[in-house]
Every structure is written in structure tokens, then in C-alpha cells.
Homo-oligomer: A and B are copies of this chain.
Amino acid sequence: MKKTLFATPQDAETAFYEAFMKHDLEAMMAVWADDDEVYCVHPRGGRVTGVAQVRESWRQIFAAAQSVRFHVREQHFLQAMMVSIHSVYEHVTLSGEGRARGCILATNIYMRTGNGWRMMVHHASPAPALEEAEPRRVKTLH
């Protein structure tokens, strides 16, 4: 299988959300590091550890769910030498519906590997809508 080489953490993140929206399991797993230490927390779920179990969890999600659209907003980055930590709000819209169904807050962690930047951690959890979440911060942007 062709593995894309992501030159930046942002490239990996873009590919992650594209794969998620398309329900493309191979593209999704090309983003993840091929490592037994990676882990994933789906909203309200337990921790899924290791690339094989992470793959299986996405397979189940893609098989069960309607296709979804994400609007990723309010990205916040923490950069270290080999690690990039992203906090993002995912506004989830089901296909055919205009209005966002819910809001998920995700911590995405990428590491620089021999094969470019790859995802090590995706921790997603239910969040209040953005407007309620950081009122002070949002206000200062206007």
C-alpha cells in the first residue's frame, strides 16, 4: 500500500479529517503511526491501544455511521521538537443536513517519524458548543 509522507503535522491533520469524512479506512490508517503505542479515544468510549485495534475501531465506525462533514474550528497548537499537539473543535454535520449535529473537542498528537509526521493520539470527547465554551476568548476576537 502506498503510504503518503506528510511533511508537516498540519498535512497529517488535513488527511485525517479527509479520511474521516470519506470513510476511507486505508487513507485513515496512512495517517496513523504504525506503532503498538498509539491510542485513540472515541467520544464516550474507552481507550483503544495499538495500531491493529485502532484500525478495527475506525472500521466499525465507518461501517456503522452515515457519512459526516466536519468543520474544524478554533485550532490551537503546541509545538515541540518532534511532537505537535493540536486541540480542535469538530463541528459535526450529517450528510443532507445543514445544521451542525454536535460539537466534539479533540486532542490530536502527531510525531515526526522516519516516515514523516504521523498521528500517535486522537482523544475526542463531547463538548458544549463553541459559543458556550470560551466566551471570553471569542469576544476578544470581535
Q: With A76-B39, A107-B107 given, is the CB distance from A46 to B82 under 8 Å?
A: no
Q: How many copies does the complex hold?
A: 2
Q: Tell whether, in the assembled complex, residue B83 and residue A134 are in contact, meaning their CB atoms are under 8 Å apart.
A: no
Closest partner residue, chain B, to A106 (CB atom): B123
- Bin chain A's interface residue count: 35 or more
- B-binding residues in A (CB < 8 A): 37, 39, 41, 43-49, 53, 74, 76, 78, 80-83, 85, 87, 89, 105, 107, 109, 111, 120-121, 123, 125-128, 130, 132-134, 136-137
Beta-carbon contact of B45 and A128 below 8 Å: yes
* A105 and B41 form a contact (CB under 8 A): yes
Give Cα A102 to B81, complex, Å: 36
Given A39-B87, A125-B123, A134-B45 contact (CB < 8 Å)? no
